[in-house]
Amino acid sequence: MATKHPNVLSIAGVDPSGGAGILADIKTMSALSAYATGVVTAVTAQNTQGVTGVVAIPTEFVVEQIDTLFKDVHIDAVKIGMLFDSDLIKAIAQRLRYWKPQYIVLDPVMVAKSGDALLNDDAVSTLRTELLEMSTIITPNLPEAARLLESEAITNDEQMQHAAERLWRIKGEVGWVYLKGGHRENDDMAEDFLYNGSETIKLKSKRTKTKNTHGTGCALSSALAALLPVSEDVPSAARAAKEFISNAIEHADELHVGHGHGPIMHFYKQWVCGK
C-alpha cells in the first residue's frame, strides 16, 4: 500500500471550464487526499455548453512529459483519459510498460455526451490491443462499452452482465471491468457492475435529478486511481469511488458554473457553500 498521500497521474486533455478532463481529475484526486500530477494530451476550447475546438499535443511531447515526470516522481497510479489517435495510444502504452506503475485506470473516452464518436475505428482497435490488458481496471460507460464490443445498445441488467463478461475476455481475462450504468436514465437507482471473471459486484446509489453531471466519468476513474494505492483491494476502492461520485453529483447544484451541463461538486466535503 502506498503512503497516505499517493502520487497519482492523470494523462488526459484540458477542459477550460474545469468540469472534465485533467482539471477535473486533479480536483478529484486532491479531494481524496492524493497528490495529483498531469500529462496533457490535448487542449480544447470548451465550456458547459459544448466544444468549439481541439488541438492535439504532439505525441513526442506527450512522451517527453511522461518520461520527465517518471524520472523524478514515484507514481503510484495512473488514470488515462482522452487519447486522440493510434500513434498516441501506442506511445503511451509503450512508456507505461517501461515505467511499470502499479495501478492503471483506463477511462476509454470514445463517445461524447452528444453521442458523437471521438475516436475512429482504427484508434478504438488500437485501444483494445494496446491498453485494455495492461490496465488494472477499465471504466467504460454503456455507449463506450457498446463501441468496444461492436454491439447494440446496452439497456438492462442482463445486457450489462453480458457486456462486462465480454469486456473482461477482450481485456485478456485479467484485472477488472467497472461498467457504468449511468446512461440508463429511466432507472431510479444508478447501478454499476464491477466484474473480474469470477464475481460480479453491483454498486448502487440513488439517482440525483440534476443536469450538472459534466465530467462524472473523469471523476470516477480519477477517484479509483487515487483510492487504489490506499485501499485493501479493488472492490473496496470501487465502493469508495462510487460513494464519492454519488455525493459529488448530489451536491452539484451548489455550484453555479455556466449555462449548460455544469460540473459536479468535487469538494463537497471540503467546501462550505454559501447560499
Residue 129 is classified by DSSP as I
CB-based contact 143:183 (threshold 8 Å): yes
213 among known catalytic residues: yes
Residue 132 is classified by DSSP as I
What residues contact 217, with CB distance under 8 A and at least 6 apart? 20, 107, 109, 139, 141, 180
Catalytic member of 27, 171, 180, 242: 180
Helices (H) and strands (E) in the chain, counts: 8, 9
Q: Which of 40, 32, 44 minimizes the C-alpha distance to 9?
A: 40
Catalytic member of 13, 38, 182, 215: 215
For residues 207 and 204, what is the distance between their CA atoms, to the nearest angstrom?
9
Catalytic member of 181, 213, 242, 262: 213
273 among known catalytic residues: no
Q: Which of 38, 30, 1 minimizes the C-alpha distance to 229?
A: 1
For residues 167 and 149, what is the distance between their CA atoms, to the nearest angstrom?
7
Catalytic member of 41, 48, 216, 242: 216
215 among known catalytic residues: yes
Catalytic member of 21, 81, 171, 218: 218
216 among known catalytic residues: yes
Catalytic member of 81, 181, 182, 217: 217
3-state SS of 74-103 is CCCEEEECCCCCHHHHHHHHHHHHHHCCCE
CA neighbours closer than 13 Å in the CB half-sphere of residue 160: 25
Q: Which of 120, 130, 134 minimizes the C-alpha distance to 84?
A: 120
- Enumerate the active-site residues: 180, 213, 215-218
